[in-house]
Amino acid sequence: MTETRDDNVTWLTQEAYDRLKSELDHLSGPGRIEIADKIEEARAEGDLKENGGYHAAKEEQGKIEARITQLQEILRNARVGEAPRKEGTVGPGMTVTIKFEGDDEEITFLLASREESGAPIDVYSPKSPLGSAINGKKIGETTSYTLPNGGSISVDIIDAVPYGEK
């Protein structure tokens, strides 16, 4: 059996999918109507150059449209369920324990979509620099990734188990 892999897939629980779908439905329906009404009310007040309410409503409209686009992209690439997981190999849906080079402290987190933010532990995205670097690595392996400042840091994979089993 071969495992196909698509890095654009976002794995979501049914609860997270339903919550995001509900938010999208609200924003693209009643949310758009509400902001259009606010803009129209502010426009009716007169001079748009000095109309703070109008500019605030237009800014809010831009944020709503950006969130709608973001939600559509997430849901377009979403799969409900659990990502294929293999104990001992880092991947989405795994509780991962790592240790940074030169640091004795271990860090444990869930490697999953940020939309799973209801998890009781820290969540790191598989698309983040750290997530990308460790994804697919096995316990005992060391990898490195580039930091935002351009430097590089090594990471040791200490443990990787399916979320909820530890």
pLDDT digits (tens, 9 = 90+) for 139-155: 999 999 988 898 899 99
Q: Is the pLDDT of residue 4 over 50?
A: no
Which whole number is the average pLDDT over 66-70?
91
Kindly tell me the sign of the dihedral angle through the C-alpha atoms of 124, 128, 132, 133: negative
pLDDT band at 124 (very low <50, low <70, confident <90, very high): confident
Helices (H), the chain: 14-26, 32-43, 52-76, 129-134
Q: What is the pTM of this model?
A: 0.53
What is 94-162's CATH topology?
Chitinase A; domain 3 (3.10.50)
List the CATH code of the domain at 10-80: 1.10.287.180
Query: pLDDT tens across 24-46, in order?
Result: 999 999 999 999 998 898 888 87
Domain ranges of the chain: 10-80, 94-162
- What's the whole-number average pLDDT of the chain? 82
What pLDDT does residue 7 have? 55
- Of residues 163 and 129, the one with the higher pLDDT is 129
Tell me, what's the pLDDT at 116?
60
